[in-house]
Structure 1
Amino acid sequence: MKKSNTNAYMALVLVSIFWGTTYLASRIGVRHTHGLMLAGVRQTIAGILLTGFFLLRGFKFPEKIILSRLFVIGVMMLCMSNGLITWAMQYIPSGLCAIIVATVPIWITIFSYFLVQRTKFTILLITGMLVGLLGVGGIFYDYLPSLANPEFRFGIFLTLISCISWAIGSVLTARWALKINFLYGAGFQMLFSGIVMTGTAILMGYSLPLDGFNRELWGSIFYLVFFGSILGYSSYVFALNNLPTSLASVYAYINPIVAVLLGWLILQEHLNWTTGLSCLVTLGGVYMVNMAVNRNKKEYGTTKS
């Protein structure tokens, strides 16, 4: 039991760090190819490796209904979320993108109310949502001159759509509760979404530059496949299944900090006291939202039993 807990804590540390570094890797990768192509190739390779691993171990091919739902979730959480985030980083700093993505729990709470109707809006929950949005507002105040740039606004728009899509996909995942191994199912989600994104990028007229070996591009893809998708997601699932949900969700507060610091140190992205403080305020609001949701779950569980 102690060994399992130790491994779970190690997995939590890995996902907290690696998922924060994927913003930097994506930002570097989109210098050389379109964001949808980068995300599509990443997810396709990761999906082939994961599904291939389970099929070679003798796992049965999922039923059509499960595959169709994995396709929907994959499109919502990886195409419309990860793909759009990667695309957005062609226009906005990776740190800013990570901070906006940190508000996903707020969006999940909103869509859970309409799709599941288990969320009770308490004073703590409403306060947390307002504090989180206030923090994001403070960050945008620091980027007011950039908002005059249509490409910057488009990047913000893509990031907001990605947050909403991830939230809806998360709610659907919980609602459907598919009877399939988490990683095996994730492999199909990655494979489906990767094919859709790669095909979309090709139809848009984009391709991978294959005329020569590009160290930055292929280094980015390698890192995103193995450390972002396979190792990162595997660690997240392991931590989620061996630690309390409230503890496993700690990664969401560490990822933006890692992304902001790496963007500042390596890519010379904008960082000052206003941005740093607004980031902490946003994460504080998200923490309050998560705390309120966990309290709701406990109350809901009590009334159900």
Structure 2
Amino acid sequence: MQKPPARWLILAAFIAVYLIWGSSYIGIAFASETIPPFMMMASRLSVAGVALFVLAWRSGAKMPTRRQWRTAVMAGIPMFVLNAGAIAYSEARLGMPSGIAAVLLASMPLWMVLINWLRPGGTPPTGLVIAGIAIGFVGIVLLSAPEAGMPALNPVGVIAILMAAFCWAFGSIYLRGADMPASAPLTTGMQLITGGTGLFIVSLFSGEPAAFDPARVSALSLGATIYLAIFNSFIGFSAYVFLMRHVSPAKVATYAYVNPVVAVILGALLANEPVTLRTVIAGGIILLSVFLITLQRLPRFSRLRLAQAAR
């Protein structure tokens, strides 16, 4: 019988998921200051993906089949190319504050319930969950609406972030029951590699390499990219997988409430992002909707369901 892990190890894993994933949004903002967003995201995902793949291979994991690689591509496109690409582009090119992006991405459970409800053979939500969905949309509208004396949010950026949350939910549902390797690090490494490759292609066709000048990359952007690859993608995910194996999913899901709070605080402290009373109220409404939605037991998705963030 396997010995349960020490409590301090579980606590350390929770702290890692809370703080590291919560800091990813300001990290993306800093990394994208002098590195093109698609190129930056492609680099961090590819580095972390290769590291996880090699680690799994050295640990004796069975190598994936061609069919499993196809599944990784189909999941990697929405979960990493579209999700991560939209987040980085919104923050770097559309002026989306990192804290606001995190709060909008907290709507991911809302989209997951809707997709699972509307798909063929889907599970209808309870009345409480429907109320949570309605409340969530109210919070999104309140957060996105113009506010007197404050710069208006770019509506394209808001739509892009909501699309990112939708894509992550769609990819998570697609992975349910999909043919993927038993090794969690191997499966995630595959998805990160395919996502990183896809973002390199997007970067190429968007003209980023031609306009990129390595000499202009700041130490802050380079350091933020390295931080995202090592801490956010590699360490953060490892902590998440560890918790999913040793702690109830309901407890692990608390990161959905903590990450936006961490992101808003770091955005205000490190980037002077404004935090208004309406932002706090709208964020609270969205988090309330997430709480109501998670009261319904959702279908068992792949154990590799991440929170925004590989993000």
Residue 275 of structure 2 is aligned to residue 274 of structure 1: no
> Structure 1: which 5+ runs fail to align?
298-305
Kindly indicate whether the alpha-carbon contact (under 8 Å) linking 1:115 and 1:171 is maintained by their aligned counterparts in 2. no
Residue 247 of structure 2 is aligned to residue 264 of structure 1: no
Name the structure 1 match of 2:9: 7
Superposed, 1:41-56 pairs within 5 Å as 41-56=43-58
- In structure 2, relative to structure 1, the CA distance for the partners of 1:119 and 1:8 (3 Å cut) is farther
Name the structure 1 match of 2:118: 114
Match of 1:224 among 225, 228, 232: 228
Residue 130 of structure 2 is aligned to residue 126 of structure 1: yes
Superposed, 1:78-157 pairs within 5 Å as 78-90=80-92, 91=94, 92-115=96-119, 117-141=121-145, 143=147, 146-147=151-152, 152-157=154-159
Q: Aligned partners of 2:243 and 2:46: how far apart in 1?
A: 24
Q: Which amino acid is 1:134 matched to?
A: V
Residue 213 of structure 2 is aligned to residue 209 of structure 1: yes
Which whole-Å deviations, capped at 9, do the CAs of 1:254-288 have from their partners, x for residues lacking one? 00010011111111112021111211111011011
Residue 157 of structure 2 is aligned to residue 158 of structure 1: no
TM-score, scaled relative to structure 1: 0.89
Name the structure 2 match of 1:199: 201
Structure 1 position 116, deviation (Å): 6.2
- In structure 2, relative to structure 1, the CA distance for the partners of 1:37 and 1:279 (3 Å cut) is same
Kindly indicate whether the alpha-carbon contact (under 8 Å) linking 2:79 and 2:171 is maintained by their aligned counterparts in 1. yes
Q: Which amino acid is 2:199 matched to?
A: M
RMSD, aligned CA? 2.0
Which whole-Å deviations, capped at 9, do the CAs of 1:11-63 have from their partners, x for residues lacking one? 12211111010100001111112211111111111111111222233333201
Kindly indicate whether the alpha-carbon contact (under 8 Å) linking 1:129 and 1:289 is maintained by their aligned counterparts in 2. yes
Structure 1 position 188, deviation (Å): 1.0
Q: Which amino acid is 2:66 matched to?
A: K
Q: Aligned partners of 1:257 and 1:94: how far apart in 2?
A: 11
Q: Aligned partners of 1:46 and 1:274: how far apart in 2?
A: 37
Q: Aligned partners of 1:69 and 1:170: how far apart in 2?
A: 12
Residue 293 of structure 2 is aligned to residue 289 of structure 1: yes
Superposed, 1:23-62 pairs within 5 Å as 23-62=25-64
Query: Residue 3 of structure 1 aligns to a residue in which SS?
Result: coil
Which whole-Å deviations, capped at 9, do the CAs of 1:72-117 have from their partners, x for residues lacking one? 1111101111121111112210111101100000000111123364
Which whole-Å deviations, capped at 9, do the CAs of 1:135-176 have from their partners, x for residues lacking one? 2222123557755x7xx2221222121111101001011232
Q: Aligned partners of 2:119 and 2:50: how far apart in 1?
A: 32
Q: Which amino acid is 2:286 matched to?
A: T
Name the structure 1 match of 2:239: 235
- In structure 2, relative to structure 1, the CA distance for the partners of 1:143 and 1:79 (3 Å cut) is farther
Q: Which amino acid is 1:197 matched to?
A: L
Superposed, 1:294-305 pairs within 5 Å as none
Q: Aligned partners of 1:212 and 1:8: how far apart in 2?
A: 41
Residue 189 of structure 2 is aligned to residue 187 of structure 1: yes
Q: Aligned partners of 1:270 and 1:62: how far apart in 2?
A: 46
- In structure 2, relative to structure 1, the CA distance for the partners of 1:57 and 1:288 (3 Å cut) is same
Kindly indicate whether the alpha-carbon contact (under 8 Å) linking 2:56 and 2:183 is maintained by their aligned counterparts in 1. no
Name the structure 2 match of 1:301: none
- In structure 2, relative to structure 1, the CA distance for the partners of 1:29 and 1:158 (3 Å cut) is same
Kindly indicate whether the alpha-carbon contact (under 8 Å) linking 1:27 and 1:86 is maintained by their aligned counterparts in 2. yes
> Structure 2: which 5+ runs fail to align?
301-311
The answer to which of 170-179 and 95-104 deviates more is 170-179
Q: Aligned partners of 1:110 and 1:249: how far apart in 2?
A: 18
Give aligned pairs, total: 293
Higher helix share: 1
Structure 1 position 213, deviation (Å): 5.7
Q: Aligned partners of 2:15 and 2:122: how far apart in 1?
A: 30
Kindly indicate whether the alpha-carbon contact (under 8 Å) linking 2:64 and 2:180 is maintained by their aligned counterparts in 1. no
Q: Aligned partners of 1:212 and 1:278: how far apart in 2?
A: 38
Which whole-Å deviations, capped at 9, do the CAs of 1:180-228 have from their partners, x for residues lacking one? 2111110111111111101220221113532266201210111100111
